[in-house]
Amino acid sequence: MFVFITLLSVATSMSSAAFIGAGILGGVLTCTNSSIALAGTYPVIPQARVNLMCGGGSLGEQVVKSVLTDTAGLYNFLLTTLDIVLANPGNCYLIATIPPGSCMFALPPGILRIPIVVLGTIDALIGQFLILAPGPMSYVLSA
């Protein structure tokens, strides 16, 4: 049994083609086990806290943005220019706290840690799009 995260991540530009001015990072949080995966259905996880964590260095890790998944398990982060400049996306990751009883199987207390990988940029008519993708996730047990 495992928890499955689908992350659709795209940062969009609101200004010139040489400057990424704002961004959107979002996805859906689902859980599944082997019997559900065979049927092709994935129950969503509503009301899960998802934090965008960035940093390291002298300031340590900081929560840049925090959201709750909605009733459909969806979450969205709207990133400003300042968020993108101050928080290097290559040094960021997502932390998802799964509420007890959200999945059809019992999870021990812990969090999902999902690194964010910068794949590159794509030029478009409205500017540059920063393409982000989730890295390999890990489940971290609470101490």
Domain map (residue ranges) of the chain: 2-141
Pick the most confident of 2-16, 66-80, 81-95: 66-80
Strands 2-11 and 127-134: antiparallel
Q: What pLDDT, in 10s, does the model give residues 29-76?
A: 887 665 555 566 778 889 999 999 887 666 678 888 899 999 999 888
Percent share of the chain, pLDDT over 90: 10
Residue 19 has pLDDT above 70, yes or no: no
Mean pLDDT for all residues in the chain: 72
User: Which region among 29-33, 83-87, 94-98 has the lowest average model confidence (pLDDT)?
Assistant: 83-87
| Cβ(119)–Cβ(10) below 8 Å | no
Q: What pLDDT, in 10s, does the model give residues 109-126?
A: 788 888 887 777 777 666
Backbone phi and psi for residue 92, each to the nearest 5 degrees, phi listed first: -115, 160
Please give the CATH architecture assigned to the domain spanning 2-141: Sandwich (2.60)
